[in-house]
Amino acid sequence: MSDELDAYSRTVSEVARTLTPHVASVSLRRGGGSAVVFTEEGHLLTNAHVVGGSTSGEATYADGEESRFDVIGVDPLSDLAVLRAQSTPAPASMGNADDLVVGQLVVAVGSPLGLAGSVTAGVVSALGRSLPVQQGQAARVIEDVIQTDAALNPGNSGGALADSHGRVVGINTAVAGFGLGLAVPINVTTRRIVDTLMVEGRVRRAYLGVVGTPAPLPDDVAERTGQRAGLRVIEVVQGGPADRAGLRKGDLILTVAREQVRDAQGIQRKLFAEVIGTDLAVTVLRNGAMVDVYARPTELTIG
């Protein structure tokens, strides 16, 4: 047993040694948290809720060095923000949360309660969790959130969740209850959001104006299409793009842009800037028949 504990300790210690220099404690006008250096050009990644309405702040690294930073991009609907500091250590190694499995060792590094370089360890206790977020009247779901039992405390937000190789696979975002924490995954979707924030400072999203819930397909349709579930429309916003396209309450959405949709996140993945003002093909099951409609998404406005 002692050998197992020693191996575990060695792994956690090595991750802490590798990752701690790349994680900063950030102080802003109204509070603070943690952030992770992720580019050679001085960019740090943190949570949007850590930044709030601030435009600048100060980062303190594990070696005591301090640097001013500017907030260059914020996306409340993914709870991510990008900072650019005047000086930073080398960037952390970024991983892919899609490769995680339940039970895998993860290590959280942050500055809870202002203690820079604090390290906790645990396992991935669940994958595929959803975290609802809202700004003004706009709402979405952060998909594929990582749930871990690594202890997270105030100030951990914006810090790194890393795998046993020291690769950052998530940005710690919330305490989900006693002994449980949540992290925004580092994957293809979040990398796209981060890249957009670095260039444009915000993420433009398309808006359809439908509310739906996952629902199974009838057996004959499932057999014909190879698809087991779709998204049942429970509300169509009057005057919105979906309403103008002819989508109706009760429709079962099968595909968007010719790709299968099984839940709300499936539609979310399609609603980025490039589809604003374009004709987006939506296939629905209505009264036993497949119907194609073409919706023209507008830009999602937040307020």
Residue 121's domain is classified under what CATH number? Answer: 2.40.10.120
Same domain, 146 and 216: no
**Stretch among 107-116, 155-164, 237-246 having the lowest mean pLDDT:** 107-116
CA distances 180 to 54, 124, 128, 148, 166, Å, are 28, 10, 15, 6, 21
Same domain, 211 and 187: no
Same domain, 242 and 112: no
Active-site annotation, residues? 49, 79, 157
Reported confidence tier of residue 211, pLDDT bands at 50, 70, 90: confident
Same domain, 121 and 210: no
Q: Summarize pLDDT for 84-137 with one digit per residue, the tens.
A: 999 999 999 999 999 999 999 999 999 865 666 789 999 999 987 877 776 666
Full residue range of the structural domain in which residue 273 is found: 206-299
**Stretch among 67-81, 168-182, 196-210, 228-242 having the lowest mean pLDDT:** 168-182
Same domain, 95 and 193: yes
Res 59 pLDDT > 80: yes
Q: What's the predicted TM-score (pTM) here? A: 0.82
Same domain, 264 and 175: no
- What is the full DSSP assignment across 151-182? ---TT-TT-EEE-TTS-EEEEEEEEEETTEEE
Res 285 pLDDT > 50: yes
Find residue 185's DSSP bridge partners: 170
Residue 225's domain is classified under what CATH number? Answer: 2.30.42.10
Average pLDDT over the chain, rounded to an integer: 90
Same domain, 19 and 168: yes
The residue-averaged pLDDT of 238-265 equals 92
Q: What local confidence, expressed as pLDDT, does residue 132 receive?
A: 74
Domain count along the chain: 2
Q: What local confidence, expressed as pLDDT, does residue 135 receive?
A: 67
Same domain, 150 and 239: no
Same domain, 233 and 150: no
Q: What local confidence, expressed as pLDDT, does residue 77 receive?
A: 84
Same domain, 49 and 170: yes
Looking at per-residue pLDDT, the higher value among 3 and 1 belongs to 3
Q: What local confidence, expressed as pLDDT, does residue 1 receive?
A: 47
Could you say which of 156, 179, 203 is where a domain stops?
203
Question: Are the C-beta atoms of 251 and 267 separated by less than 8 Å?
Answer: no
Q: What local confidence, expressed as pLDDT, does residue 113 receive?
A: 58
Question: Are the C-beta atoms of 182 and 129 separated by less than 8 Å?
Answer: yes
Same domain, 158 and 226: no
Sign of CA dihedral 142, 145, 149, 155: negative
Same domain, 183 and 258: no
Could you say which of 141, 175, 203 is where a domain stops?
203
